[in-house]
Structure 1
Amino acid sequence: MSPMAIGGLGMLVLLALLMLRVPVAFAMFAVGFVGIAILNGLPAAMSLLASETFTLSSSAELVVVPLFILMGNVASATGMSSRLYDAAYAVIGPIRGGLASATVIGCGGFAALSGSSVASALTMGKVSLAEMKRFGYDPRLSTGAVAAGGTLGILIPPSTGFVIYAILTDQSIGRLFLAGVLPGLLLLSLFVLLISFLCWLRPQLGPAGPRTSLRAKFAALAGAAPVLGVILLTIGGIYGGIFSPVEAAAVGAGLMIFLGALMRRLTAALLWQALKDSVVTTATVMLILIAAHLLNPFLALSQIPQAVGALLTGLEISNLSILAIILASYLFLGCFIEGFAMLVLTMPIFFPLVTSLGFDPIWFGVLVVVTLEMGLISPPVGVNVFIVKLVAQDVPLAKIFQGVLPFWGAMLVALILLVSFPQIALFLPDTMIR
């Protein structure tokens, strides 16, 4: 059997394992290890397993993962993350669709604390869905706003998706974080505009919320100021060259713990739980990365990436058309495969082709993460939709999927804009003080 046939068989086995709900990391471990053993011998597979595990586990760059996750977990455990929603609620809640827009803004703020789409959707769902139900919001709009807003967690830095992409492609985490800022704000703005348009078109979708006094607005903004300050300090510190991403993560986590203790919201029990949750999430990310570094050499030995590259370049179409085919592949795969698994599976195949065509790898990283976001709300897998279903148990799953469709369209508009105007993503990293 040829190496390419073995590689193709390995990919089929991997997809079968994922469909059987085998954890992503374990499925990739099995296929990568066995594939390398077949193509290059068992000693090579054992050596690679040992070396890659040690190299990745001792990587200083990956310290950003547990620290940023801890920052988000502390903010969630102490209730400080809900202050972002409260501030947006007080300012724009009284307008039609205002509570849904406040939810999206709250998701964006929490994304800048946690880097997790699931955590953003779950936290903001618990905070906002009951309130929108109380004011008579259509469940399709309310659940759609939470599910779509939660996806901002893997685009607005600190993003776990960007960290994994950076490790897989040997790119700068700091530049990727900065590249996600403007696209994240663009997508958030599109979501808010979409909600306003839908509520103007059909006012019954999102009635106006309660009016708040000017004093209440300032009080809510003041309550969110410490959390906003931490966000601005961490991201601004990276942009200004004051902190490296690792240092920014340490500063952010330390400040969040300090604020929680200062406000007497962070007990020893809550801190311990936040630490345990951070360890579990970090271990999951590390296992996926180690498994990816076993799978990637297997794919290289099988020569599948070279074959795919030769096939696409042999079509005699423009570079932009090839990019469109790659992004369309991500959109299709996102309907069936979990985002991080898709990222790990496709990077060894598509990344060498993208760089050979002269596309900026940081810009391509942003495009890929946006497509991963779209996969988070695409049927039938749509992880964020199922997370929202856990909170809104009285809303049928079909209605939630109906609610996310307009937001999926807004994401497609953002993707087209990013392809057409790469500087939206590249402006901040290109002007970063080194």
Structure 2
Amino acid sequence: MGALVPPSGVIILFALLTETSIGDLFVAAMIPAALAVLLYFGAVFVIVRWDPNAAPEANGSSLSDLWPALKGSFPVVLMFGVVIGGLYGGLFTATESAAVGAVGAFLLALLRGRLNRGAILRVFSETTATTAMIYALIFGGLSFAFFINMGGAPEMVSAWIASIDARPIFILTLLIIIYLLLGSIMDSFGVMIITLPVVTPIILDLGYDMLFWGILMLVVVEIGMITPPFGMNLFIIKSIDPNVQLSTVMRGVLPFILADLLKIILLVAFPALALWLPSTM
């Protein structure tokens, strides 16, 4: 879900590469993200009902620990609501909302007494490294898109797609399958940088909204990263506990892949899931 829940670096990169509003994409991702949570809850519920031994048994103190956990997370939830709510309500722009979030996080850490010289230096170091990486990706992506457009590749591919004389939903399904395959062997940033210069004109020619395609593409690419046999995140999970077999990890992720495929079907069948909230801004 990392690609969907704001503030998502993948959404920001997509917005910069396609010149789409970052704020609109953040808002468009809210309902699909909530839908993903519900579908994952549903997958867990079905699995546990089918096989009660598939999950650890809850102890008696688990419910009593729920309220302190919710109370402790309330400031973070409040900060998220202020940032995204202000963005949705038009109180500030995407850049201003980032400033509000940064100041809010600083004040929250200050009130919790967790700020010291080492923590501040570590945050500065990690932020600098992340920002440098993102800008390197952006510069590389824009340069790649420039040369791709100079070579006329998007126009050639668009003309070839138009010559197929197929329904737009067929082309969209074909693109979804391609992105599922690419996502299983590459990370989200790499997939977007390589494909967006070619795919964006095709999507626009088919008559699809860029916000809808942005959210759908992010969902599909993230699914690819947990899809056997080449899903990158499967190997990351396996590395956490070397005693767990990779086949066990692959079997365990299958119900959630089915939930994600259902999410794709719902997004394609009902584009309003991604487009309704931005239309009310």
Say whether the 8 Å CA contact 2:184–2:232 is kept in structure 1.
no
Mapped contact 1:334–1:376 kept (Cα < 8 A) = yes
Q: Is the Cα contact below 8 Å between 1:199 and 1:205 reproduced in 2?
A: yes
How far 1:218 moved relative to its partner?
A: 2.7
Structure 2 residue runs of 5 or longer lacking an equivalent are none
Q: Work out which structure has the larger RCO, using CA pairs closer than 8 Å and 6 or more positions apart in sequence.
A: 2
Shift in alpha-carbon separation, 1:401–1:360, aligned structure 2, 3 A: same
SS in 2 for 1:157: coil
User: TM-score with structure 2 length normalisation?
Assistant: 0.94
Equivalent residue for 2:270, pick from 408, 421, 424: 421
CA change 1:261–1:393 in 2 (3 A) is farther
Q: Give yes or no for contact 2:182–2:221 (8 Å, CA) kept in 1.
A: no
Residues 1:322 and 2:180 are matched in the alignment: no
User: What pairs up with 1:116-131 in 2 under 5 angstroms?
Assistant: none
Q: Is the aligned partner of 1:172 residue 2:32?
A: no
Equivalent in the alignment of 1:363: 212
After the TM superposition, which segments of 4 or more aligned residues of structure 1 sit over 3 Å from their partners?
212-217
Deviation per CA, 1:205-249: give whole Å up to 9, x if none.
013312338764332221111111111111111111112111111
Alignment of 1:339-358 (within 5 A): 339-358=188-207
1:207 partner SS: coil
Name the structure 2 match of 1:127. Answer: none
| Letter matched to residue 367 of structure 1 | L
Matched, 1:389 2:238: yes
Determine the C-alpha separation between the residues in 1 that align with 2:257 and 2:123: 32
Aligned pairs for 1:141-160 (under 5 A) are 152-160=1-9
Say yes or no: does 1:243 pair with 2:92. yes
Q: Which has the larger radius of gyration?
A: 1
Which segment drifts farther, 345-354 or 372-381? Answer: 372-381
- The residue number in structure 2 matching 1:209 is 58
Distance change in 2, residues 1:393/1:248 (3 Å): farther
Q: Which residue, out of 112, 117, 125, partners 1:276?
A: 125
Aligned partner letter, 2:186: I
C-alpha displacement of 1:334: 1.6
- Tell me how large the CA RMSD over aligned residues is: 1.6
Structure 2 distance, partners of 1:403, 1:178, is 31
TM (norm. structure 1) is: 0.62
Measure how far apart 1:317 and its partner are.
Answer: 1.1
In the comparison of the two structures, how many residue pairs are matched? 281
Match of 2:184 in 1: 335
Of 232, 252, 260, which aligns to 1:403? Answer: 252
Q: Is the 8 A contact 1:155 1:370 kept in 2?
A: yes
Stretch moving more, 407-416 or 392-401: 392-401
| Partners of 2:243 and 2:102 in 1: CA distance | 36
CA 1:215–1:406 in 2, change beyond 3 Å: closer, same or farther? closer
Which residue identity does 2:243 align to in structure 1?
D
Deviations 1:167-222 (A, max 9, x none): 11111000000000100110111011100100100110013312338764332221
Give structure 1 stretches of 5+ with no counterpart: 1-151
Alignment match, 1:256: 105
Aligned: 1:304 with 2:153: yes
8 Å CA contact 1:337, 1:381 repeated in 2: no
Alignment check: 8 A CA contact 2:18 2:200 kept? yes
Structure-to-structure mapping, 1:211-230, within 5 angstroms:
211-212=60-61, 216-230=65-79
Contact 1:338 1:381 in 2 (8 A): no
Match among 69, 76, 81 for residue 232 of structure 1: 81
Separation of aligned partners in 1, 2:238 and 2:63: 35
Contact conserved, 2:185 with 2:232, CA < 8 A, in 1?
no
2: CA distance between counterparts of 1:157 and 1:373? 15
Letter in 2 for 1:193: G
Are 1:261 and 1:267, in contact at CA under 8 Å, matched by a contact in 2? Answer: no
Identify which range, 401-410 or 161-170, moves more after superposition.
401-410
Change (3 A) 1:417 1:214: closer
